[in-house]
Structure 1
Amino acid sequence: MPSTGSVINRKALVQSLIAMGLLLPGMLLFPLGINLAMCLFTYGVILGFLVAWRTDLRRAMLVVGSFTLANLIAYAASPYPLLAALTMAGVVFVYGLTLRTGLTTFIVVAPISVAFTIAQPPTVLPNSSVAANLLVLGLVCIIAGLWGTAAGAVIGRKAPHPPLTQMPWRSTWVYTCSLALVCGAITLVVCLTKFQQDGAWVLLTILIVAQPGVHRTWRKAGDRVLGTFIGFAIALVVGIPLNGHPVALTLAAILLFGIAGYMMLSGRPYWHYVTFLTPAVVLVVGASSNVISTDFNRVWSTIVGAALAVGVLLVLGAIGFHDLDEKAEATPGSSPT
């Protein structure tokens, strides 16, 4: 959404405040003793909200159901490296194919959530069975997704639905297969070496930075590294005094998510968005571990992930796939149902 040129974009501000409000019910997970599911709750709300707001209710429900199923499979597969790697590759493959429908930008949090579920399974009930944990996580995913979907459907009812950008089939297949192969291989390494969060950060960076086209990937990689370093400093300033206080860290993360949302919705440069998204994610993840170590891991993982994303597309270009920058096709978006 382009900036209006004013100091404050009021529409973007209202939308980001609404998004912040949608995340606040996740605070109920703390008194319930299942705060490790906060990341999944956050991803579910964002996913449902974006898809329902920018497309339609039917697609949002389908995406939320897929998000829930993917994370449950990922949790069950996480103790088995090969199965976990195949799960990650399969999820990324399906995600990549959505380039043909124009949904990729809105649903990138889905494969990211799977990466974290595999790398560091959120065992919310330590003394219970796998089935009990799956039940709780499934409920969190569904409730979060439906909550975000309901809000997105209401807000998006009167909002214009711009055309969705579709990629040509050739670019879609090359991008999808390459990304699935790389993410699957990295997941296997992560599971075998117990990298946990570090590996998930690498996967997150690859999924966000990798674009169908080397030039776009270089630009986004540079923006992401710049925003990450600045966000790293913000996370330290906010996180050090709050370290060990998960509720305060989560509230601070929600505020930073809101600022990041404003940066995105008001059309600011991508690195502005990453500058606030980075500390937000660091704080919400660090709330269940250690903010300082999470912050430092975030920096090197971003550099590694960005390098891998650019490297893959450079290799594709070297072997003849130069058409990944083909002009995308715009197709009308769906109206809300």
Structure 2
Amino acid sequence: MTNRQLGIRLALLLLIVAAPILPFTLLWPGVVGVALFGVLVAVFAWISGGARVAIPVTVALALLGILGIVCRDHTWLLALILLLLGIGYGVAASRGIGSAVLQLPILVPYFMMRPPPLFTDGPAEVTPLYLLAVGVIVVLAGLWTVLVLRKAMGRRALKVVDVADPRAAIVHGTVLGVLSAIVVTIAQTSVTNLHWVWVTLTLYLLANPTGPVNAKKMLYRVLGTFAGFVVVGVLLLTGLPHLILVSLAVVSLWACLFFYVAKRPYWQYVVFLTITVVLMDSSDASTVVLDAERIGFTVLGALLAIGSSFVVNLLMFRRRHALADEA
């Protein structure tokens, strides 16, 4: 299949996925934004392991998202959830399937920081009906996405990558969980309305628990992430309506999938993944303070990701060196 054929097929698939979702926006505001969470997690989980992986991961996002909303006023519970997500990601990465669950520690914090608007154009009113609707929409959007991918692309086997040191992957994931827990604790107990999710987003986008630190690849990941934030910043400054920005997130998702499936350089994929995820949370008006916060938290997330990678690799290198000396 040529790149042109691949791009056309992916575009058609996304149009088919979006077709039954978009009309509901006319009835209930916010449906597209919530459904996009299910679409995004289902797409990347399906790429990593087909329907058998995508379905449980989608359900997990719905349940964890609801849990994050319910616990949003209990900082220690949010910190515990993020810690466990980091450990879980590390365990999955140690088995070579980290990419299948990567969207969970990236997307769950968005539910914690601010419940996605639904049934209203303003802040969400969290009621039992709202929580049920969020879960149902995420799951149904994810299942529909999996069904379309399954019919159009056929079966897909679980993709397992080689892991240089499984123990290091678990340690790295745990460190990411600890850092995420610290970030949410500081954000929840200091200044309200901080967009701390940009720290955790950058942290996980740049992390690579499955192998040793590669300075060149890390540089490309950092540049790709920053490029994505720059593009989003420019789009938000134009004052485009939220619905258009969410629609652009779908276009960005198409580009993200194309670069991923076509096996282009990782930084190109990261650019559009960053744009997609951030545009999903574009309901805030762009201001100088917000843009500065976005840039600052991105820099902080990049520094934490780079620092944690080098520290974990240094510790594990010393451990392997000590074991070699004992042998």
TM-score, normalising length: structure 1: 0.80
Contact 1:45 1:148 in 2 (8 A): yes
Deviation at 1:149, TM superposition (A): 1.7
The code of the aligned residue for 1:138 comes to: G
Contact 1:98 1:104 in 2 (8 A): yes
The equivalent of 2:106 in structure 1 is 112
Q: Is 1:223 aligned to residue 220 of structure 2?
A: yes
Among 99, 109, 133, the residue aligned to 2:93? 99
| RMSD over aligned Cα atoms | 3.0
Alpha-carbon distance in structure 1 between the residues aligned to 2:50 and 2:273: 26
Alpha-carbon distance in structure 1 between the residues aligned to 2:171 and 2:285: 38
Alpha-carbon distance in structure 1 between the residues aligned to 2:273 and 2:50: 26
Contact 2:94 2:169 in 1 (8 A): yes
The code of the aligned residue for 2:237 comes to: I
Contact 1:316 1:322 in 2 (8 A): no
Deviation at 1:323, TM superposition (A): 7.5
Alpha-carbon distance in structure 1 between the residues aligned to 2:291 and 2:269: 17
The equivalent of 2:71 in structure 1 is 77
The equivalent of 1:253 in structure 2 is 249
Q: How does 1:130-149 map to 2 (within 5 A)?
A: 130-149=127-146
The code of the aligned residue for 1:301 comes to: F
Which structure exhibits the higher relative contact order, with contacts defined as CA atoms closer than 8 Å and separated by 6 or more residues? 1
CA deviations 1:54-98 (Å, max 9, x no partner) are: 424333222222221111111111111111111111222223221
The equivalent of 1:41 in structure 2 is 35
SS of residue matched to 2:22 = helix
Q: Structure 2 vs 1, CA of residues 308 and 58 (structure 1 numbering), >3 Å: closer, same or farther?
A: same
The equivalent of 1:290 in structure 2 is 285
The code of the aligned residue for 2:57 comes to: V
Q: How does 1:1-337 map to 2 (within 5 A)?
A: 8-19=3-14, 21-23=16-18, 25-28=20-23, 30-35=25-30, 38-124=32-118, 128-157=125-154, 161=157, 163-165=159-161, 167=163, 168-194=165-191, 196=193, 198-212=195-209, 213-216=211-214, 218-241=215-238, 243-286=239-282, 288-291=283-286, 296-321=292-317
Alpha-carbon distance in structure 1 between the residues aligned to 2:192 and 2:24: 26
Deviation at 1:181, TM superposition (A): 1.4
Deviation at 1:183, TM superposition (A): 1.5
Alpha-carbon distance in structure 1 between the residues aligned to 2:41 and 2:113: 20
Deviation at 1:132, TM superposition (A): 2.3
Structure 1: 5+ residue stretches without partners: 325-337
Contact 1:50 1:152 in 2 (8 A): no
What percent identity do the matched residue pairs reach?
Answer: 23
The equivalent of 1:331 in structure 2 is none
Q: Structure 2 vs 1, CA of residues 38 and 231 (structure 1 numbering), >3 Å: closer, same or farther?
A: same
CA deviations 1:217-268 (Å, max 9, x no partner) are: x444422332244334433444433x25122222222222212222222222
Deviation at 1:50, TM superposition (A): 3.2
TM-score, normalising length: structure 2: 0.82
Q: Structure 2 vs 1, CA of residues 54 and 206 (structure 1 numbering), >3 Å: closer, same or farther?
A: closer
Q: Structure 2 vs 1, CA of residues 127 and 9 (structure 1 numbering), >3 Å: closer, same or farther?
A: closer
The code of the aligned residue for 2:138 comes to: C
SS of residue matched to 2:115 = coil
Deviation at 1:317, TM superposition (A): 3.6
Deviation at 1:313, TM superposition (A): 2.5
Deviation at 1:127, TM superposition (A): 7.8
SS of residue matched to 1:215 = coil
The equivalent of 1:334 in structure 2 is none
Contact 2:256 2:272 in 1 (8 A): yes
SS of residue matched to 1:31 = helix
Q: Structure 2 vs 1, CA of residues 240 and 186 (structure 1 numbering), >3 Å: closer, same or farther?
A: closer
Q: Structure 2 vs 1, CA of residues 34 and 227 (structure 1 numbering), >3 Å: closer, same or farther?
A: same
